Amino acid sequence: ARDSLVRRLDWPLLGASLALSFLGALLVWSATRNRDHLTQGDPYFFLLRHALNTGIGLALMIGTIWLGHRTLRGAVPVLYGISVLLVLAVLTPLGTTVN
């Protein structure tokens, strides 16, 4: 399988992404481990949430690589439109204001 998923991976980019994700997880953990009042006593709440989001991102990355850029080319206008709408949604009063 000359065009396998493993051969299509950009290994330095994957390594850098994983290293940054690990560093981010370490920083999230060190900054929030003593914030029991925010997490009902779970010191790993924010770390686990960060790890879950990282896992979702890795799964989406692998899915995108598996599909290939030629397959996704037809969906680019739709994906771009969705992205623009989501960016514009930030400007609406929907959601919760924290501060």
Per the structure, the complete domain to which residue 21 belongs is given by: 5-73
- Is position 84 within any domain? no
Give SS3 for 89.
helix
Kindly give, in sequence order, each residue whose CB lies less than 8 Å from that of residue 90, ignoring residues fewer than 6 positions away. Answer: none
- pTM listed for this prediction: 0.69
Residues in the chain: 99
- In tens, the pLDDT along 62-95 reads 888 888 888 889 999 999 999 999 999 988 888 7
One-letter identity of residue 72: L
Specify the number of domains making up the chain: 1
- Is position 92 within any domain? no
- Is position 78 within any domain? no
Q: What percent of the chain has pLDDT over 70?
A: 96
- Is position 68 within any domain? yes
Which of 12 and 35 is assigned the larger pLDDT? 12
- Is position 18 within any domain? yes
- Is position 23 within any domain? yes
